[in-house]
Structure 1
Amino acid sequence: MENIKDEQEFLTNLIRGIAAQFGEKCEVVLHDLSGGYESTIVAIENGYITGRKPGDCGSNLGLEVLRGTVKDGDRYNYITQTKEGKILRSSSIYIKNSQGKTIGAICINFDISDLIVAENTLRSITKYSLENEVKEVFVRDVNELMDFLLQECQKEIGKPVSHMTKEDKMKAILYLDKKGAFHIKKAGDKVCKFLDISKFTLYNYLDEARNLEE
Structure 2
Amino acid sequence: MPRRGSSEDERDAIIAALTPVIDGIVATLGTFCEVVVHDFRRPDRSVVAIAGSVTGRGVGGSMSEIGMGILSQGDEAADELNYVTRTQDGKLIKSSTMVLRDSGGAVFGALCVNLDITAITQAHTMIGQLAGLAGGQAAVPTTTFGDDIDAVVASVVDAYQLGQGKPWGELSRGERLELFRSLDERGVFAVRRAMPQVAARLGISRASAYTYLSQARTGSDLSEEQQA
TM-score scaled by length of structure 2: 0.79
Check whether the contact 2:79–2:98 (CA below 8 A) recurs between aligned residues: yes
| 2:89 maps to 1:84 | yes
> Which residues in structure 2 correspond to 1:27-42 (within 5 Å)?
27-35=34-42, 37-42=43-48
**Distance apart, 1:9 and its partner CA:** 3.0
Note if contact 1:41-1:57 (Cα within 8 Å) is conserved in structure 2: yes
Q: Percent identity?
A: 30
Provide the aligned length of Structure 1 versus Structure 2. Answer: 208
Shift of 1:156: 4.3
For structure 1, list consecutive stretches of 5 or more residues without a partner in the other structure: 124-128
Secondary structure of 1:116's aligned partner: helix
Larger radius of gyration: 2
Secondary structure at the aligned position of 1:131 is classed as: coil
The Cα of 1:166 is off from its aligned counterpart by 2.7
CA offset digits 1:138-182 (Å, max 9, x no partner):
112111101111112213444211212332222211111111112
Specify every segment of 5 or more residues in structure 2 that has no aligned partner in the other structure, as ranges. Answer: 1-5, 130-135, 221-228
Aligned counterpart, 2:109:
104
Partner of 1:58: 63
TM-score by structure 1 length? 0.84
| Shift in CA distance, 130/44, structure 1 to aligned 2, threshold 3 Å | farther
State how far apart, in whole Å, the 2-side matches of 1:30 and 1:130 are: 31
Within the alignment, does 1:139 sit opposite 2:110 as a pair? no
CA–CA distance in structure 2, aligned partners of residues 8 and 72 of structure 1: 18
In 1, Cα distance between equivalents of 2:176 and 2:55: 33
> 1:197 offset after TM fit, Å?
3.0
Distance (whole Å) between structure 2 residues aligned to residue 134 and residue 100 of structure 1: 31
| TM-align CA RMSD | 2.8
Structure 2 counterparts to residues 124-203 of structure 1, below 5 A: 130-131=137-138, 133-203=140-210
Question: Residues 173-192 of structure 1: CA distance to partner in whole angstroms, max 9, x if unpaired?
Answer: 11111111122333222222
Native 8 Å contact 1:69 1:178 kept in 2: no
Name the stretch that deviates more: 147-156 or 113-122.
113-122
The reply on whether 1:43 has 2:42 as its aligned counterpart is no
The 1:18–1:210 alpha-carbon spacing in structure 2 relative to 1, beyond 3 Å, is same
- Structure 2 matches for 1:11-26, cutoff 5 A? 11-26=18-33
CA distance in 2, matches of 1:135, 1:71: 25
